Amino acid sequence: MAKRSVTLGISFKMYFGYAQTVDWCRQIADNLVHHPAVLDGRVSLFVLPSFPALPPVLDCFADTPIGVGGQNLYQSPNGAYTGEVSGAMLAEMGCRFVEIGHAERRRLFGEDDAIIAAKTQVALSHRLVPVLCIGEADRGDPADAVAECRGQIDSALALATAAQRQQPVVIAYEPHWAIGAAQPASLAHIAAVCRGLRQYLGAQSQASVIYGGSAGPDLLTRLAGQVDGLFLGRFAHDPAAFEAIVNEASELASN
């Protein structure tokens, strides 16, 4: 089996303003689009800005390997849904990714398994790569976490056709109990859960399993071989920090 690329993604959530988003992306475009590991696919990058910033961000990364996507989409193809954004529009704009099922969407906006399954199916129908956020609710044994996360993956893909199940998916694992907690998940826990999920998905699956909890410097190295990449947050708000992790990923992908 060919070696998987290292996948690094970042969601700005609602931290960045318009100008800050564009400035960050321009710096990354200037410094990373010619990075050898990015050009040859050893390191795969995606960026998820707020909706109003999508056009300039797409322009920043046009004709580059760096993917752009939305932080959300609506669960119906189109219609009278004021304030929502369709998968069709994201795809038409040139987006390649879309985030689905984050714990904040579940907690703050009441998204349940049925909504997440509908959103996943809409994303796949428009050839968008779902960044499917999963994680167990309570601290416990890794085996129990794998079982709960497997159920979330199965539920999210419940409406997908057989052909759609062959499309790429990014599984972003973050235990819900560790979000904002003083004590993050241990390396052993992260490695065991991500390894279990990769085994469940199978060697032929086009799904990548990345970790998204308190991801910072050296975490990728300490988890080398156990995860397919990282879903980055506030640490990578500094473009130099993001570039440092890309260089770290490049070294790992070259070994």
CB atoms within 10 A of CB 155: 17
Q: Quick one: CA dihedral 25, 28, 31, 36, positive or negative?
A: negative
Residue 38 pLDDT greater than 80, yes or no: yes
Band (pLDDT 50/70/90 cuts) for residue 3 is low
CATH, residue 162: 3.20.20.70
Domain count, the chain: 1
Residue numbers of the domain that contains 115: 6-254
Choose, from 99, 136, 148, 174, the residue flagged as catalytic.
174
* pLDDT value of position 1: 39
The half-sphere exposure of 149 on its side-chain side, counting CA atoms within 13 A, is 35
Residue 192 lies inside a defined structural domain of this protein: yes
- 72-94 pLDDT, tens digit per residue, is 999 999 999 999 999 999 999 99
Evaluate whether residue 1 is within a structural domain: no
Is 189 catalytic? The answer is no
pLDDT at 150 (0 to 100): 97
> Is 129 domain-assigned?
yes
| 32 found inside a domain | yes
pTM for the full model?
0.95
Q: How far is 123 from 120, CA to CA, in rounded Å? A: 5
User: How buried is 219 (Cβ within 10 angstroms: 0-12 exposed, 13-18 middle, 19+ buried)?
Assistant: buried
Token pair in block for residue 250 = 């490049």
From 102, 126, 136, 176, active-site residue = 102
Q: Residue 182 has what pLDDT?
A: 66
pLDDT higher for 20 or 177? 20
pLDDT tens per residue across span 173-229? 999 988 766 677 899 999 999 999 999 998 778 999 999 876 677 889 998 789 999
155 domain-assigned = yes
pLDDT of residue 179: 79
- Could you give the percent of the chain with pLDDT greater than 90? 84
Q: What residues have CB less than 8 Å from 252, skipping those under 6 apart?
A: 6, 220, 221, 224
What residue has token string 């070259």? 254
pLDDT at 140 over 70: yes
In a domain, 240, yes or no: yes
